[in-house]
Copies of this chain bind each other. A is one copy, B any other.
Amino acid sequence: MRDVCVIGLGLIGGSVLRAASAVGRTVWGATSSEGDAAAARADGYDVMEVPQALRRAGDQDALVVLAVPLPAIEPVLREVAESAPSAALTDVTSVKGPVLDSVRRFVPSARFVGGHPMAGTAESGWRAGNAALFGGSAWVACVEEDTDLGIWAEVAQLALDLGAHVVPIPADSHDETVARISHLPHLLAAVLAAVGAQGGPLAMSLAAGSYTDGTRVAGTRPELVRAMTEGNRHALLPVLDEALGRLGAMRGSLASTGGLAVTINAGNEGAQALAATRDVHRAGVRVNLAAPNAREGLCALGERGGRVTSLAGDTAIGEVN
């Protein structure tokens, strides 16, 4: 098992460091946050300066996990280019296309596989993390046309070791999908909370389940929501346009015919699609990573809603509806 070097020791990075250590990996970390560094050291972890951590990763050919916020990715990549330019490299940020572009630009010789664990809480910082954070959740490990599947399997194995299931898809597919099922929900919740609050104390007094559910994530820290939505601008714009189109058509229909059946029925079908995904029995799928069409096989599994749940030699074993 390759050693693991984690850059950034907040909620996600700190949880990766703990969980990788807990399964017996040799791990070390670095962070520009003195508070997180001190807290991680106090918990017994090996924490050093970023250049030192990266040089050690280069020397020992460790897997480097970038767990810094999106705006810090490029400065850190410059340090990777300096200290470990051919590192096995992954990340955990919430957009994948822009990070892939930055890696290609700043560290073209890195053996990079983009990653995104779909886990988190509203908390942040080392103290908010825990080794069990990823249990049962999805972890996207990106597959591009030029991805080294040996490194992909190592990133996937790390995610599996941490208790996650691995979703193999290209970066652009990831970004479009999270725009739909994560960024749009946050923005609609913000719109609803703003329109609701315009109703004053009476509105807050009468608000019940539909409102509290629909506005819950509007309570997330604004800087976190801004980082993920603004960072995914390219993929988010067409999804916002879809939502605007549906809302505008609904408004027009209510004003003209008074009917809302099209919108409401489409929403109900969408709710049933989600419920069906969770109900259906999942069948096993195997992808041979040594086969010439392995990348297509992995991506087809991901696009069908499947997940890799284990690796055995050159075989990725997955489940799909």
Binding site for B on A (CB under 8 A): 118, 137-138, 140, 167, 169, 173, 176-178, 180-182, 184-222, 225-226, 229-230, 233, 236-237, 239-244, 246-248, 250-251, 254-255, 258-261, 263-277, 302-307, 321
- A242 nearest CB neighbor, chain B only: B195
A197 in contact with B302 (CB, 8 Å): no
Chain B residue numbers with a CB within 8 Å of A197 are 266, 269-270, 273-274
Judging by beta carbons under 8 Å apart, are B196 and A208 in contact? no
* Assembly CA distance A236 to B209 (angstroms): 19
Interface centre among A167, A198, A247 (most CB of B within 10 A): A247
User: Known: A193-B274, A254-B237. Is A226-B264 also a contact (CB below 8 A)?
Assistant: yes
Q: Are A199 and B180 in contact (CB under 8 A)?
A: yes
Nearest-Cβ distance from residue A282 to partner chain B, whole angstroms: 11
Query: What are 26 pairs between A and B in contact, CB < 8 Å?
Result: A138-B208, A140-B206, A182-B206, A187-B260, A188-B192, A190-B268, A191-B247, A192-B267, A193-B267, A193-B270, A194-B246, A201-B304, A202-B305, A204-B274, A205-B277, A213-B213, A213-B217, A219-B268, A219-B271, A220-B268, A225-B260, A233-B258, A237-B254, A240-B247, A241-B251, A243-B247
18 other contacts beyond A176-B199, A187-B260, A194-B269, with CB at 8 A cut-off? A180-B195, A180-B203, A181-B208, A181-B210, A189-B210, A190-B266, A190-B268, A191-B267, A193-B273, A193-B274, A195-B239, A202-B303, A204-B305, A205-B305, A212-B274, A214-B217, A220-B268, A233-B258
Across the interface, A237 reaches (CB within 8 A) one of B204, B229, B255, namely B255
Most chain B CB inside 10 Å of its own CB: which residue of A197, A200, A216, A248 = A197
What is the count of identical protomers in the complex?
A: 2
Which B residues are in CB contact (< 8 Å) with A209? 217
B-chain residues with CB within 8 Å of residue A187 when the two chains form the complex: 247, 250, 260, 263-264, 267
On chain B, the residues within 8 Å of A225 by CB distance are 260, 264
